Amino acid sequence: MLTRAVRSRRTPLPALITLGLAALLTLGLAAVAVPTAGRADPPDVICPPGQTTCDVWDDDPGGGGDPGDGGPGDGGGGAGGTCQWNGRVVPCYDEVLGWFHNGDGCYYKLIEPRPEGTPDGFDWYLLTCNGGDLGSQRTELRDAPPPGFGTPPDPAELARRALASIDLLPPRVAVAPRRHIGPGLVGLPVWMWASTAQPGQPRHYFGPQQASATDRGLTVSIAAEVDQVTWDMGNGAEVTCSGAGTAYRSESPLAGKRSPDCGYHSGYPEPGTYQIQAATHWTVSWSGGGESGSFEITRTSGIVTIDIDELQVVTQ
């Protein structure tokens, strides 16, 4: 590959546009002597135990959650793939600057119309280097575009951009009995549930949520929803529920019985103090540009503490 390069003064891009690329090229062509070989391009996430006195069964909301495994949703990046310069993520394509080349940290934009006097088989490019620093610009004559130039948007990356525009919040869990009211008992069932919504955030805890991202005519849509909830009961036991669970109500006909959909039915085998934590497992499905896929996201709740006492048998 052959290139010719001319460095410009530290002139902001708007000024370059105002002056006109033709003037810039005129200076560049005058300063170039002989084409030189360009450098090589490198390869490129409250349940209560049953008790004889049900007045202690109440909800005990957990604290703020942990984002958990952010997965793809936590990534940044621009259109058309993931590009980085000096440890920071930069857009792989910019409508003003053109396409980014990871090998040298420059954006390449084809200069059009083709300037007069351009040798056959060559094209002039405006380079904005140092990760897009407008004060670091030059023109370059090349016999071929750099790797990645003209690459269409990556649908999977657009899916990640769409995911970054929505909130998948950690679950807010509840337990009963409330610790400050009274303990549970060994061997009696525990109810667990999580809030599915909060004021102003109706779908942020369990979904479904939808979003989309568009770049250069390609639109990718996503749908995110919780598939299951796993509960760490604090004693090595884990319970998996298909949904948020049913909130316990002392006035309900179910009071004192097993949870109908999410519970630690066998109860704790030993007395003690246990810390309960839940994780919601989201599936994010995406489609666009004739492609589709999915990825998993996990969000982890805060901790709820429950006390369990030995079951006492009274004899006379």
pLDDT of residue 141: 96
What CA–CA distance (Å, rounded) separates 83 from 157? 11
Q: What is the DSSP string of 205-250?
A: TT--EEEEEEETTEEEEEEEEEEEEEEE-SSS-EEEESSS-PPP-T
Q: Output the 3-class SS for 267-296.
A: CCCCCEEEEEEEEEEEEEEEEECCEEEEEE
Could you state, in chain order, the average pLDDT of each consecutive group of 10 residues for the chain (316 residues)? 44 37 40 33 29 34 49 38 80 88 92 94 94 87 90 89 94 83 88 87 92 92 97 98 92 89 95 97 96 96 95 65
What CA–CA distance (Å, rounded) separates 102 from 44? 8
Superfamily of domain 54-75+154-309: Immunoglobulins (2.60.40.10)
> Closest Cα to residue 111, out of 29, 1, 34, 39?
29
CA angle 184, 186, 191 (to 5 degrees): 50
The residue ranges of every structural domain in the chain are 2-40+82-142, 54-75+154-309
Q: Is residue 78 within 8 Å of 97, Cβ to Cβ?
A: no
Q: Is residue 63 within 8 Å of 303, Cβ to Cβ?
A: yes
What CA–CA distance (Å, rounded) separates 1 from 164? 39
Q: Is residue 188 within 8 Å of 312, Cβ to Cβ?
A: no
Two tokens, residue 260: 């109908």
What CA–CA distance (Å, rounded) separates 150 from 152? 6
Q: Is residue 149 within 8 Å of 162, Cβ to Cβ?
A: no
